[in-house]
Structure 1
């Protein structure tokens, strides 16, 4: 199954706050906003013991600094910089922090850009587990909203296009975001197969493609087609009728 509706969709747990709404009324991609971090003494943070993640000592990591650095990258991209143009040194300088501050938070540009992509994300809510149909609708609805955001946001398109041209960044996004979404879809369908709501004689990934394919087609291949409200329900109900056990 391939979920590349929007290559700036984040994984759950992203630290960046949500932002405004798209003109179509659906929640828009998140943009982190901060006031300032320059001169806040962040360069005085101690190095992590042993260099491992989660082994930091001293003053806790500043969420405001994290957000400000990500917001700086977004601003530079909006101003015309390319992903290839951005060095960790330039990002630190533009954010008003030391280079060491950036490297304490991210091992390198791929890790930082993954958080930048997540900052533009529209979250996929966790499945409720109460209804296979409702969980499938929820998954497809999040794809529909990401598709709307992609069409309406020049910055989203810029980041998507440039990240796809960077194999290391795209692989990191695929591993940390797309594969997690695929696994959630598999779990929903496996639950439906176990309960007898979905036929169990087909491969789960094949069945998943039946659900996501129509939405992907509209978002990626036929961008002139509308993404109206109710589309997720229409797709799910139509496919469910076709994959129910017979007799």
Structure 2
């Protein structure tokens, strides 16, 4: 959802928003460096005026974040049956993004370029990465409340213990396997070490 959708005003055209987001993706697919993808260039590519973009997004950082989110599968609904099941669903989404990033030169290229643009990286971190971490932390806190995870552990550290192995295989070891069983294997292995002593 675009960051500007909460603003009041006339109803937004989903077709126009889609054309703008697709314009960003097309420019990057055509090899335009991220630093050169300006609001003006996106407007020309999408066939809209710059004001049409600024009515929907506060700037290029917000626009790029929404374009990247549009290029990814949405985050899954959590089953809510147990902390274990919710963690497996979260890690399966991470695994799928890793598979897609490997097969998509576009996403791989964008993530690499974003790190050289601090404002864009900060916006991506705030609007994409942090909400996902908060969601996982909520599941982990619930696990502490139900006794599935030790209450004395730092939730941020535990989050890293679950997500870290998939990120290592997706980013640091791009040739490593990302089998369908990986989320379950990671969750079961980490949970075994985090359970309170009986």
| The two structures share one fold, judged by TM-score above 0.5 | yes
Q: Does 1:244 align with 2:187?
A: no
Unaligned runs of 5+ in 1: 1-12, 16-50
Cα displacement string for residues 2-59 of structure 1 (whole angstroms, at most 9, x for unaligned residues): xxxxxxxxxxx479xxxxxxxxxxxxxxxxxxxxxxxxxxxxxxxxxxx9952213xx
Find the residue that maps to 1:129 and give its secondary structure: coil
1:14–1:119 Cα contact (<8 Å) kept: no
Q: 2:74 maps to which residue?
A: 123
2:169–2:177 Cα contact (<8 Å) kept: yes
Distance 2:47 2:21 in 1: 12
Find the residue that maps to 1:245 and give its secondary structure: coil
Distance 1:52 1:147 in 2: 29
C-alpha RMSD of matched pairs (Å): 1.9
Match of 1:234 among 178, 182, 185: 185
Cα displacement string for residues 151-173 of structure 1 (whole angstroms, at most 9, x for unaligned residues): 11111112111222211111011
TM-score normalised by structure 1 residue count = 0.75
Q: 2:12 maps to which residue?
A: 61
Greater helix fraction, Structure 1 or Structure 2? 2
TM-score normalised by structure 2 residue count = 0.93
Worse-matched range after superposition: 204-213 or 184-193? 204-213
User: Which of structures 1 and 2 has the larger relative contact order (alpha carbons within 8 angstroms, sep 6+)?
Assistant: 1
Distance 2:131 2:86 in 1: 15
Q: CA deviation at 1:123?
A: 2.0
Could you say if the C-alpha distance between residues 103 and 237 of structure 1 is closer, same or farther in structure 2, counting changes exceeding 3 Å?
A: same
Match of 2:125 among 140, 155, 174: 174
The higher radius of gyration belongs to 1
1:14–1:118 Cα contact (<8 Å) kept: no
Q: 1:80 maps to which residue?
A: 31
Distance 2:109 2:192 in 1: 39
Worse-matched range after superposition: 124-133 or 171-180? 124-133
Q: Which runs of 4+ in 1 moved over 3 A?
A: none
Distance 1:242 1:214 in 2: 15
